Structure formats: C-alpha cells, structure tokens
Amino acid sequence: MNSNDDVLNLGFLPINSFSLKNVQINEFQSLRSGLKLFLMGYDSPIMNMYCVFPTQADNNEGLPHTLEHLIFLGSELYPHRGTLDVLACRSLSIGTNAWTSVDHTAYTISTAGIEGCLKILPVYLDHMLRPTLTQESFMTDVHHITANGSNSGVVYCEMKTNEETSDHLAYFEMMSHLYPKDSGYNKNYGGALEGLRSTDIHRVREYHSRFYRWDNLSIVLCGNVSDKRRIFNVIAKAEVEIGNFKIKNVPIPRMKCWDECRHVNGPTQSVNARITFPCDDEDVGNYMISWRGPHWNDFLRIYTINFMGVYLVESVTSPLHKTLIQKENIGSCVDFTMEILKESYYLISIKNVPCASPNKLDHVHDSLLSALMDVYNNSLDMQRMRMLIRRSHYSYLRDIELSPHETLIDNIIRYTIYGDDPKQLEHVLCPDEIVEELLEADEEFWLNVLLEDFIKPIHVTVTSVPSTERAKELQEKEENLIKQQLEMYGAETLLQNKKIVDDVTASNKGIPNHITDDFGFCDLSKISLNKYPILRNFNATAEECTTDYIKVKNVHVFNTKCNDKRELITSVAEKLNDVTIPMQINHIDSDFVELLLLFSIKHLNIDINEKRLLLLLCETIFESYVVIDEKEVTSDEFIIMLMDNTIDYGACLGLSGSITSMDSYSDLLSISITCHVSRYKEMYKLLMHLLQDIRYHEENVQSRIKSTMKSFKKSKRSAKCLIKQAFNVLRLKEDCVRSACSLAQQQNFFDSLLNEHVSFLLQALHKKLFTFDKMCLHVTADMSKLDSNWLQGWRIPILFNNNIMLKEHLSFEFGSNEKHSKSSGVVSYLASTDVCYFVHVVKAPLGYMHKDFCPLNVMSELLCMMEGSLFRAIRGGGFAYNFGIVYYPSRGELHLTIYQATAVIDAIKATMDIVRDIDGISEQDFISARSSMIFKILQNQETQADYCEASFMCSIRGTPIDFDQTMLDQVRQMTMKDLIRVWKQHLMQLLTFENQEKTLVCITPKGQYENVMEGLKELFKGEIHLKSPTEFLQLLANPHM
C-alpha cells in the first residue's frame, strides 16, 4: 500500500512516517473512532501489540489498577471469564498482560506472527471497551473480606506486598510534595489498602466510562507489519461492530486528560520529609532528593539534565560515588533517575545508609549538598562528559537492535498522552541532533546546568528510617482490623462472601467449546524459525542434525543458505581454523560487536574460600588498576578507557547470576563486553589487559566490600530473595560455587575480610582463573564491518583439541553440585513482609535431551498459563498474586511457587486438588498449552540477538543447533497421553513431602507463622522446622549442619 489516498479510503489518516535504524515507524488516526494507530515495522517472528489508554487517579482507591484487572474477566460478546486468554493461547501467545502507571494503562499481547495478533485484536477490544465488570469479579480479583475477617483479592494481595516497603512509602511521600494536592500525579494509582477496602464495583464502572473510549485509545503494533491493508481492515471492522462508527471527513478531537494546570503546578518551597518503614532491624535506611523538571517536550533540557545526572553518579569514577560511597562510606550506591510526565521530576538516591554506629542517615543530606558544591567549584571532566553522551547514544542504538519495541514504546506512549504536534514523535525517538548539540557544549554550559538544576532549585528530600516499632504497630493494626471487620459485618455476611467466591471458583471450569470452535486456530504450518549464519571451530554435540551445513576443514558452518555473503562467511571460516581457542561466531546485521568469554572454574580445584572470593572478583575486576605499556594505570583511568571504547561490560558467575539469584551455570565465570564496530581493536586490547595485566589494590577492594555489605541488609529484608536462597542452598553441596557465593555465606565471609589484606588473594585467584586453555569465546557481529584480520588476535599459542565436546572442554556438567539427602522443610517469618512466600521443590529429569523435556514444559504451561487451571484456582480464588509450577531442566527440578499470598494454605490446597484431578485435564487447556509453548519457542528467537544467544546456549548444553526446531516438531506431535504420563510420574510428587529428596520453604509475616506452620503440617507429613529470622540465616550459611 503506497498511496495516502488508499489509506484514507480505508478510513485512516496518515500522520507520521520515518525510519530509525532498521525500524520503520508510521502513525495514523482513524477517521471513524479517533483512535491512534502506530506501526513499528522490523523483521521478527514475533508480533507485539500495546493498547494504551491515558488514565488518571483522583484518589487513592486504585481505580486505574482495579479496572486493569477486571478488563480480562469478560465482555459483552465474550461474557465467560477467561475467554480472552484462552483465545489468546489459540492465537499462538502465552496470554495477555497489562500494567498501570501514574498516567496511563497499557494492555499487551505478543503472538507468533501477525495472523494471531489480528485474530485476537477484536476480542481484546471488546474486553477493553465493553467489559462485564461484575460484582463477583470484583470480589475475587480486587477485594473481599474472608470468613475469618481478613482481606483478600488479587489486587489486594499485590498491593499489600508493596504498601509498607521503603521505596513505596518514600515515592508517595516525595510525590505529595513535588506535585499539588489535587494533582493526579501524587495519587496512589495502584490502590492504597484502605482505598481498596472502601471502593466498589460501581466506582470502577463509572471510571471505565470516563477513560475507556475510542478517542482515548492508541494501538501500537510492532514486528512484521507490511500488510497494512489487512491491519486497517481488522480495526475498521471492529470499529463498526463494537462502536458502530462511520467514516468522517475530518479527524476526531482526541481526549486529553492531563491538560489541566492543577496537575503540574510546582512546589513553592523546599521540603525535608522523614518517614519510617517496618523492619526486623534498624541498621540501614535510604535517602532521596528530588526536583521538578522540564515539560515533557523540552527535549533538549531533558537530555541536558539527564546527562548531568549520569555524569554525577555513573560508575565508581563519578564524583558523587567517589565522595559519598568510597571516601565517606555513606551507603552502598548512589543513583540518578528521571521520570518524564507532563512536567517531569528527577532525583538522586542513596541506598543502605547506616543508621547507627555511626548514624550517617541524619547527615547524608548535608554530605550530598556539599559534594554537589565541590563538583561545581572544581573543573568538570569534559572528556568524561562527552564520552558519557556518546556512550549513552550508542547504548540507545544498541537497544533498538536488541529489542526495538521495548526500547521505543515508552516515548511513543508519552507522545500519545502529552503530544500536541506530530513533529514531536520523531523528535522524541530520534535524538541525534540533540546529542550533537550537547557534544559541542562547553564547561560553562554544564556548570550552569549543575547550578540551576541541582544546587539552586527548590527540592524535596525523603529520609527513610527503619523501625522495628512500626513493624509491631502494623502487626497489631492488622489483628485489630480483622477483629473490627468480624464485628462490623458478622459471621453470616462473611460466610456469604465465602460462598460467592467459592461459587465463582467452582463454576470457573473453562469456557464453552463452541466459543473456541468458532474462533479456531492459527495455522501452525506457517510458523517457522529465522536462521542466521553460525561458525564454530569445536564440537557441541556428537551429531549435528541439520541439512544446511558445510565443513571448512575443522570449522562447522551452519545456515549458509540464509545469507547472501557466503563468500565472506567461507573466508572467515578458513581463518577460524587458525584460532586456538573454542570460538562460535554469529553473523548478523549489526553495528556492534559483542564478546562473551566463559572460563571454567570446575577444573581449578580451588578451595572454599577462593570460591567465596569469586563474586568479589567479579565486582572488582573492572574497577582495578592495570599495567599498560609497563605503566600502572589507575582504576579511574582504566574505567574511563573502558567506557570510552565500549557501551557495556561486566563479569558474573554463570551466565546471569548474582548474589541474590545464582544460576545453574555458576561453575563458569563469564565476561561480556560490547562496543561499536569502529572500536573493536581498542576493545580487544583492553580485554587482553583485563585478563593479563590487572592489579588489585586494597583500597578499592575494601571499598567494594563495605558497599556490598550494606546491600546485604536490604537483601535480608526481602522474603522473595531469602526464599530463593533457601531452596538453592538446601539442595546443593556446601562447598560448591553456588553455595559458597550465597547471601548468608557471603555475609559471613565479607565480615572476615574487613580490614584484612585481600588484594593479594584476588591477584592469585585471577592468575589461576584467567587462562586460555579452559575458556571459550562467543562473538556476535556483522563480519563484513570488521577488518579482515580481526581474528588474528585470537591465535593464542595453546593446545586445543577441537574434536572434544565444548562442555567437556569446560569441565561443565549439569547436576554435579546437587546434594540430596532426606527431605528438608523450613518455615520462617519477617517483619518486613505482609504476605507469604512458599516454594516446594522435587526432583525431575536432568538435562535438555530427556524424552520428557517437551511434555514437562507443556505441562508447566498448561498449569501456569493465563486462565489455566492454577490461574483459575489461585488468582480466581483471590489467594495469591503470583504462582507457578516450573520445570528446570538445568537443575533437574520441578518447583511449585506461591508468592505474595494472603491465604497461602488455601492456595496450596487448591493446587493439590488440581494435581490430584488428572481426569479434570481438558482437551481445550491442552491445546492452548501447546500453542503457548510454540510461542515461547519462537520468542527465544524474537530478534537476531536472541537467536545468537539461543544458538550459543545449544553449544554449552550440548544440544543440536536445530534444537528449537526439534522442540517445535515435538510439541506439535505431543498427545494427551504424553501429558498424563509426566503428570503421574513427576507432578504427583508435589502431593507428598516425607521420605523423599524434597525441599519445602515458607516465609510468612511475623504474625502468621503459627497458623501457616499448623496448616503445612496438616498438608505435608514430613519434618518441617520453624526458624527465627536469625536461625534461618544461620541455616542458609550452614545448610548441612
């Protein structure tokens, strides 16, 4: 479709059309309804859709958020609860999703291909614009009072998790001073618990009529959108059938709900606020200082303030980090954030500030202001400033390559809410001219920004102080509230509430077959995976299963037919034969080069304390001194060199591990580094210096130890973090890397390192670890943009047997760290949580080539998908917000998780009922689960970068290069018989606990552990032990004592 006249004839007015890198962006407005349509075109097997309504809260009842949840529960054409998500799965999706923000509500879906997206769109529109909004749905998914007087409901569970956290309390305290009292920006759009208890379905219906209108709706379609005529026809048909609209001659005025000045009038004086948050200890608090910023379309000033904020806090070389964190040891980190509203705000926050011995929280404000004045009174590092601007812009362009829809959607949404000129869309998405202008700005310009936007303006500070007393008060408040509600409503009314909720749950057995039959399926035969050239100089599996394959001496080349640069690929393959380390090269269309280096830990035979040092090494390696040309370069100078020549770098245990969440690959240490293709030579040199010439200095190491120890305080307050730690370490050998680097062991170990000489230990470990004989390299790049001799540097004089498997070369094996004995069950409690977290772990097949791999994944999908059996029981019953039964092949485990639960025992009982009811598995749910699984397989390869990552994972796991295609075929062929087999063999293990290698952990609010403990002992007959928070941490530090 090339002509604007053709578009107009279909009822859509063209407004914008431009390109950004490989993304084509078009904007249209419907001449029927006034809705906005944005098409974001790029090559991908996945379609992503966003439907956006600007919304606004007038109070703290959480009406935007409650409505978001209720939208999914039925519509005029599809009144049965769950229809939308069941049909979404048949559209090759994992279901719908949504979020509520302060100024908008967005509904999303991702499908495999455009067919499914356009098939589900009219159903989605009917739910958004004509929802049923019943009282029964309000009770289950928003709020109701249970028979015992407590409060329940999905939204209530979700908000109860957040309401008393430090971040939540500080945010709303800050917003109440930054924006006027009657502004929508300072209202609790998610819903305060008191507001959720007081609102009702009538208020929700009235809110829907105000904001959910066609002329307040924008649809954004992202992916392969070349068939515009088909897209226009689907939307036009929905406009006629749902809205009864006809084409008009002129554009319809759009609704603008944020235009009133009352929302953005600024504060008239500075405010210093102080709040308390509930906690088990009173060791560390938090601090933030915030300012009002420019109008959303003052793009130059927004970028200017943002770059100054980045200059102040980015990396350990930044002035505020060096002064506040390293020198004065005030907290664990200092961060800058900017939020773009109609008129923006920005803030600097300092986390984990000591409250006692010594109390630095009371003095942090003065320290920050003094540090800002020091920056102003001294010369700015203009070389660093310009480097940060260039690096930020490169990072933006790289993000567009990695995930265009996620990178661009926020600014498109802001444009739909606040925009009043079509030119603003291109300006907000394409900042090249602003970047060039700011690169030319001199020091005087930036000093004026610092003075006028950070030092002189009216500000709002919020100091968050931990309080054990507040924790006690909240526990008493909750107990009193239950008593009051029992007295106010009486047993008869509350039992009636229970009956209504139970009836909804009991009747929610799925949707009528005629609805799914009429809707049909997407054609699976049209679904295919993208392929891009891959080169390897090693073996990944005993036998590769692919037809598009050639071998150039010892180099394996895959997918040669999918690219027009075969001569180039063959030339690179010839040179790869001379490379003496295992290397995989993924050739894609990109302006950037990404290197991932993996080093084996397993073969080193290092002791337990050396293993405990690994995380500290990962945190300090890029912050250390280095010898270059026989001269020692300081850590600050080295970081500047790294940042100037790369856009990203990092080191971690495993592929994505952290101290709060270690992955199954933690016997490998990974170093990743990415640069623009023009900087590859410089990046390579810096990488070699990093591996061979690093010098650890005690001052830097001790500074990192102290800041990390402060962050431990926050992690110990997180029930979600602690429960992840528990089910990891209770099932592992105590001396393996994952255990040695767990939170509790790290805390004890770091305590012993304070004021000790640690740098020489790190130096010795570094020398052991970073050798080329037990490493491999993954390169992602466009080889046509690299110099022809770029591989020369990887011809390292070592012996490498390219006939052995990669995982053997790395001494890597799944399941080698597991230590299972008898079942272990633990219950603990925290004052910092208002909801329960529960996990039950049982054994399952290990690895990715097991015959049950696909059936187990489809089983998990069936149980966990939106409007699946678990969803209907747990979310439908209002017992918990998050849940899952997930198969982890890399661990050989099946996990049942129930998080953010207000009725955890009821949620477990409902889960066990579903597990027992094999006969209750419906063909409809099975088909939906298979469709969802197909989408997940395709999502692994949504972008070229995703494809590269997935193909390298095949190398590490020892699976064939066409593993995803094999999975697609197996899922298509899977039968109900396969599902029932793995259900009986593996899922049924979750029903029992005693006498088997199982792990059960539950963390509750402080006032609920006795009731939860009693309930768990009734359900599970094995040994379950109650541990205080202190005893629980001791158990995590010594799990097998």
* Number of neighbouring beta carbons within 10 Å of residue 668: 26
343 and 441 assigned to the same domain: yes
Q: How far, rounded to the nearest angstrom, does the alpha carbon of residue 667 sit from its chain's CA centroid?
A: 24
Q: What's the pLDDT at 563? A: 67
Closest CA to 979 of 936, 938, 933, 913: 933
For tokens 């997935």, what's the residue?
950
Answer yes or no: are the C-beta atoms of 284 and 330 closer than 8 Å: no
User: Does residue 866 carry a pLDDT above 90?
Assistant: no
Taking CA atoms, 871 is separated from 508, 514, 806, in Å, by 10, 22, 41
Angle between helices 963-973 and 853-864 (to 10 degrees): 70
User: Does residue 183 carry a pLDDT above 60?
Assistant: yes
926 and 997 assigned to the same domain: yes
CA distance 839 to 908: 10
Q: What is the pLDDT of residues 480-538, one digit of tens each?
A: 999 999 999 999 999 999 899 888 888 877 788 899 889 988 877 777 778 899 999 99
Main-chain phi, psi angles of 27, to 5 degrees:
-125, 135
User: Does residue 261 carry a pLDDT above 60?
Assistant: yes
Under the banding of pLDDT at 50, 70 and 90, the label for residue 832 is: confident
CA distance 407 to 405: 5
Q: What is the pLDDT of residues 802-812, one digit of tens each?
A: 788 888 888 88
732 and 834 assigned to the same domain: no
**Which 3 state secondary structure label does DSSP give 19?**
strand
Q: Is residue 339 part of a domain?
A: yes
Q: What's the pLDDT at 822? A: 64
Answer yes or no: are the C-beta atoms of 533 and 781 closer than 8 Å: no
Q: What's the pLDDT at 187? A: 96
Answer yes or no: are the C-beta atoms of 293 and 264 closer than 8 Å: no
Cross-sheet strand order for the sheet of 46-54: 12-20, 23-30, 36-41, 218-223, 46-54, 104-112, 93-100
Instruction: Provide the token pair at 237.
Output: 């048909």
Element (H, E) at 475: helix 468-507
Taking CA atoms, 454 is separated from 305, 324, 375, 712, 874, in Å, by 9, 16, 11, 30, 48
CA distance 779 to 586: 6
Taking CA atoms, 813 is separated from 487, 609, 610, 887, in Å, by 60, 22, 21, 18
Under the banding of pLDDT at 50, 70 and 90, the label for residue 821 is: low
Among residues 197, 223, 254, which one ends one of the domains? 254
Q: Is residue 576 part of a domain?
A: no
127 and 31 assigned to the same domain: yes
Q: What's the pLDDT at 508? A: 78
For tokens 């299963």, what's the residue?
545
Q: What is the pLDDT of residues 47-66, one digit of tens each?
A: 999 999 999 999 999 999 99
Mean pLDDT of 402-413: 96
Q: What is the pLDDT of residues 128-178, one digit of tens each?
A: 999 999 999 999 999 999 999 999 999 998 999 889 999 999 999 999 999
Q: Output the CA torsion sign for 462, 465, 471, 472.
A: negative
Among residues 441, 466, 491, which one ends one of the domains? 466
Q: What angle (nearest 5°) sits at the alpha carbon of residue 253, between those of residues 249 and 256? A: 165
275 and 340 assigned to the same domain: yes
Residue 102, CA atoms < 13 Å, CB-side half-sphere: 19
CA distance 25 to 513: 40
**Which 3 state secondary structure label does DSSP give 272?**
strand
CA distance 216 to 30: 12
CA distance 61 to 66: 9
Q: What is the pLDDT of residues 203-230, one digit of tens each?
A: 999 999 999 999 999 999 999 999 999 9
User: Does residue 814 carry a pLDDT above 90?
Assistant: no
21 and 66 assigned to the same domain: yes
Answer yes or no: are the C-beta atoms of 900 and 161 closer than 8 Å: yes
Answer yes or no: are the C-beta atoms of 289 and 457 closer than 8 Å: no
Under the banding of pLDDT at 50, 70 and 90, the label for residue 249 is: confident
Instruction: Provide the token pair at 762.
Output: 């790190």
Answer yes or no: are the C-beta atoms of 581 and 708 closer than 8 Å: no
Range of the domain at 318: 262-466
Label the pairing between strands 880-888 and 893-901. antiparallel
Query: Which residues face 539 on adjacent strands?
Result: 805
Q: Is residue 909 part of a domain?
A: yes
Residue 689, CA atoms < 13 Å, CB-side half-sphere: 25
Q: What's the pLDDT at 1039? A: 65
User: Does residue 886 carry a pLDDT above 90?
Assistant: yes
Range with the poorest average pLDDT among 68-77, 322-331, 864-873, 959-968: 864-873
Main-chain phi, psi angles of 996, to 5 degrees:
-140, 170
Under the banding of pLDDT at 50, 70 and 90, the label for residue 268 is: very high
Q: What's the pLDDT at 104? A: 98
85 and 157 assigned to the same domain: yes
User: Does residue 882 carry a pLDDT above 60?
Assistant: yes
Mean pLDDT of 318-326: 94
Backbone conformation region of residue 830, classed left if phi is above 0, alpha if psi is from -120 to 50, else beta: beta
Among residues 450, 466, 482, which one ends one of the domains? 466
Q: What's the pLDDT at 353? A: 93
Q: What's the pLDDT at 820? A: 64
CA distance 123 to 74: 10
Q: What angle (nearest 5°) sits at the alpha carbon of residue 474, between those of residues 470 and 478? A: 170
How many distinct helices (H) and strands (E) make up the chain?
Answer: 39, 31
354 and 237 assigned to the same domain: no
Residue 1018, CA atoms < 13 Å, CB-side half-sphere: 11
Q: What is the pLDDT of residues 947-971, one digit of tens each?
A: 999 999 999 998 998 899 899 889 9
The 8-class DSSP code of residue 521 comes to -
Instruction: Provide the token pair at 281.
Output: 């200890």
15 and 149 assigned to the same domain: yes
What does the buried/exposed string (b/e) look like for 818-827 if buried means 16 or more CB atoms within 10 Å of the residue's CB? Answer: beeeebbbbb
419 and 304 assigned to the same domain: yes
Provide, rounded to the nearest whole percent, the portion of the chain with pLDDT above 70: 97
Instruction: Provide the token pair at 1015.
Output: 């309930």
Q: Is the peptide bond before 358 cis (omega within 30 degrees of 0)?
A: yes
Q: What is the pLDDT of residues 610-655, one digit of tens each?
A: 999 999 999 999 999 999 999 999 999 999 999 999 999 999 999 9
Task: Find which of 219-233, 656-670, 858-872 is predicted with most confidence, using mean pLDDT.
Answer: 219-233
The one-letter code for the residue type at 968 is L
Taking CA atoms, 951 is separated from 441, 564, 609, 775, in Å, by 44, 20, 35, 18
Q: Is residue 121 part of a domain?
A: yes
Closest CA to 305 of 317, 291, 286, 325: 291
The one-letter code for the residue type at 490 is G
Furthest-apart CA atoms within the chain: distance in Å: 84
Answer yes or no: are the C-beta atoms of 590 and 784 closer than 8 Å: no
Taking CA atoms, 251 is separated from 8, 239, 258, 575, in Å, by 11, 15, 21, 60
User: Does residue 847 carry a pLDDT above 60?
Assistant: yes
Q: What is the pLDDT of residues 723-749, one digit of tens each?
A: 888 877 788 888 889 888 888 888 889
Q: Is residue 390 part of a domain?
A: yes
Under the banding of pLDDT at 50, 70 and 90, the label for residue 281 is: confident
Q: How far, rounded to the nearest angstrom, does the alpha carbon of residue 635 sit from its chain's CA centroid?
A: 31
Q: What's the pLDDT at 1041? A: 54
Q: Is residue 472 part of a domain?
A: no
Instruction: Provide the token pair at 42.
Output: 């790029």
Q: What's the pLDDT at 9? A: 67
Residue 1000 maps to which CATH number? 3.30.830.10
Q: What angle (nearest 5°) sits at the alpha carbon of residue 149, between those of residues 147 and 150? A: 105
**Which 3 state secondary structure label does DSSP give 538?**
coil
Instruction: Provide the token pair at 630.
Output: 């026989």
User: Does residue 543 carry a pLDDT above 60?
Assistant: no
For tokens 């004086």, what's the residue?
269
Q: Is residue 66 part of a domain?
A: yes
Q: What's the pLDDT at 811? A: 87
The number of distinct structural domains making up the chain is 4
User: Does residue 305 carry a pLDDT above 70?
Assistant: yes
Answer yes or no: are the C-beta atoms of 461 and 271 closer than 8 Å: yes
Report the chain's C-alpha Rg in angstroms. Answer: 29
Range with the poorest average pLDDT among 562-571, 753-762, 914-923: 562-571
DSSP percent split of the chain into helix, strand, coil, nearest 5: 50, 20, 30
Label the pairing between strands 775-781 and 592-600. antiparallel
Q: Is residue 793 part of a domain?
A: no
Q: Which residues contact 947 (CB under 8 A, 6 or more apart)?
A: 530, 531, 532, 586, 588, 940, 941
- Mean residue pLDDT of the chain comes to 91
220 and 275 assigned to the same domain: no
CA distance 399 to 224: 18
Provide, rounded to the nearest whole percent, the portion of the chain with pLDDT above 90: 69
* Number of neighbouring beta carbons within 10 Å of residue 328: 15
Under the banding of pLDDT at 50, 70 and 90, the label for residue 544 is: low
Query: Which residues face 627 on adjacent strands?
Result: 632
Q: What's the pLDDT at 547? A: 65
Q: What is the pLDDT of residues 469-490, one digit of tens each?
A: 998 898 899 999 999 999 999 9
Closest CA to 766 of 683, 708, 692, 698: 692
Range with the poorest average pLDDT among 120-124, 454-458, 466-470: 466-470
Instruction: Provide the token pair at 969.
Output: 């075929």
Q: What's the pLDDT at 590? A: 95
Q: What's the pLDDT at 823? A: 64
**Which 3 state secondary structure label does DSSP give 545?**
coil
DSSP string over 278-344: E-S--SEEEEEEEEEEEETT-HHHHHHHHHHHHHHHSSTTSHHIIIIIIIS---SEEEEEEE-SSEE
Query: Which residues face 953 on adjacent strands?
Result: none
172 and 277 assigned to the same domain: no
User: Does residue 124 carry a pLDDT above 80?
Assistant: yes
The 8-class DSSP code of residue 254 comes to P
